[in-house]
Amino acid sequence: MGERRSRLPVVSVRTRIVAALGLVATLAVLAAGVTAYVVERNRILDQVDTQLLSSVESVRFLASESPDGGWSSAEALLTAALTRIAPDDNTGALGVIAGQAALVPGVQMDVNLARVDGLAARVTAETEGAQVVIGTIADADADARADVTLRYVAVPIVVGEGDAATTAIFVTGYDLVAELAELDAAASVFLLAAAIGVLAVLVIGFAIAGRLLRPIRDLRQLAERIAASGVSERVPVTGNDDVSQLGVTVNAMLDRLDGSLAAQQRLLDDVGHELKTPVTIVRGHLELMDARDPADVEQARDVAISELDRMAGLVGDIQRASSVDRVEAFRFRATDVAELTEQVATTASGIEGATVRLGSTARVVAMVDVERITQAMLQLVQNAVTHAGGDVTVASRRAGDHVELVVQDAGPGVPDAHKEAVFERFRRVETGRGREGSGLGLSIVRRIAEAHGGTARVDDAVEGGAAFVVALPIDDEAVAAAGAAPGASAAAVGEDGRA
């Protein structure tokens, strides 16, 4: 025996929905948060560069002033620049002379640039060509504080010309770590709020999903109970949404299934009852038969053959009744009812013992299964031959939005009390019309009519006898879609089914 395949754990639809909802909410919140963080961070960094460049303009403006005929040295200009600097949050300034940190502002600033390792030597090398330089340097031990990532600008200052020229470097910068700290704190608060929000979405979604999916859970539990007991229970329906409508649909399906099972059980009961009689008759004759008496043997054989023929007819009727229960097997098409009526009359003339006359015909077009309707009409003709003699009239007529196919006989008719009962399966009544047959013929006729959306009934003929009527709806839209247009009624048939 091969190794059994391991089963994956069962995950409920409710869990899947909530998980998907939580994933979507998390991705949406993260996407919004990351986008906002990146945009705001870039804005802060751009603002830092803008402030650094503005300090360059301030130094250049200061250098353009000429108090007392000009600046005496680069150191004097550098001292004036450091004195006039306006301190900003997370900033620092420094004066570099001869590659060394020489001057600092007179006011306390957030960042002490003199303690940033390598800054003086770096800006000295970068400004060797008298170029203004913007750069970034990291220092882990600046001012014994946390890490410092310094964004700085270095402005070379040259006073005098030739050998008398003096040089210095003005440096100012922002601590980017401290500058972005407020944004990082806001991002942390946002992440915490987002986590709480997603958790709330999961909790609320779990509750709502459970409420919405309750009909499906009830449906599953109902299916388990039906599998164990029967189909009498129904799904409780609350609300008016798609899931609730599923319960309505399932209940309708169970109603049809319950009806089908009941009909099947009645059929089995009726078949058992109908077959029991011929079997009992044959068995009784065989048990009482004198095998030494040829006449008695021949009589028992005749009885057995007769009863077996009756059982064979019953089985054939059951097969036909079963076939008309499958509506999906019907082939509907636009059909000229007048031509169909004439065809049925011609075919019915071949039934033994039948004298068939064609009555008036309705010149209309209807969507029918020609084979099934012909089967129903021939069954009515056979029924008339069996119970009312062979004088039969086949006709059709239009009645409002229906067309009625009529088979009229000249027999004793059907009493009002039995006009519905004669269409019941295996129901045979005393009407003075005989009791031959299996009792399935007229029930097949009614089932064919119902499959077409119509009805079957029996009326009293004015001149005596019974008029069996199959009424079928005329669907002009369906006929037009099939490429046929309904014609006008050529002639009407009287209420008794005669022209």
3-state secondary structure of 425: coil
Q: How far is CA 64 from CA 33, 70, 78, 478, in A?
A: 47, 9, 13, 97
Which domains are assigned to the chain? Answer: 16-184 (3.30.450), 242-323 (1.10.287), 329-481 (3.30.565.10)
Contact by Cβ (8 Å): 166, 159:
yes
Instruction: Write the single-letter amino acid at 98.
Output: A
* pLDDT per residue rounded down to tens, the chain (499 residues): 444 555 666 678 888 889 998 999 999 999 999 999 999 999 999 999 999 999 989 888 888 776 555 678 888 888 888 888 888 889 999 999 988 988 888 888 888 888 888 899 999 999 887 889 999 998 755 444 557 789 999 999 888 777 777 889 999 999 999 999 989 999 999 999 999 999 999 999 999 888 877 777 777 777 777 767 666 667 677 767 776 777 788 778 877 777 777 767 766 766 676 677 678 777 887 888 888 888 888 888 888 887 787 777 667 666 666 656 666 677 889 999 999 999 999 998 888 888 899 998 999 999 999 988 998 999 899 888 888 878 899 999 998 889 999 999 888 888 888 888 888 766 655 554 444 545 677 888 888 898 889 999 999 887 778 899 999 998 776 666 655 444 433 333 333 333 3
d(CA 222, CA 244): 15
Q: Cβ atoms within 10 A of the Cβ of 159, count? A: 19
Contact by Cβ (8 Å): 130, 156:
yes
60 φψ region: left (φ > 0), alpha (ψ -120 to 50), beta (else): alpha
Q: Cβ atoms within 10 A of the Cβ of 409, count? A: 26
pTM comes to: 0.52
d(CA 499, CA 345): 15
- 126-133: which pairs have CB atoms within 8 A and are 24 or more residues apart? 126/154, 127/154, 127/155, 127/156, 127/169, 130/156, 130/158, 131/156, 132/56, 132/156
DSSP state letters, 433-476: S---S-S-HHHHHHHHHHHTT-EEEEEE-TTSSEEEEEEEE--H
Whats the size of the chain, residue-wise? 499
What is the Cα 20 distance to its own chain's centre?
A: 17
Q: Cβ atoms within 10 A of the Cβ of 15, count? A: 12
Q: How far is CA 402 from CA 149, 455, 483, in A?
A: 92, 10, 19
Which DSSP letter does residue 329 get? G
- Please name the helix (run of DSSP H) or strand (run of DSSP E) that holds residue 407, with its range, or none: strand 402-409
Pairing of strands 402-409, 466-473: antiparallel
- 420-425: which pairs have CB atoms within 8 A and are 24 or more residues apart? 422/458, 423/456, 423/458, 425/266, 425/267, 425/270, 425/321
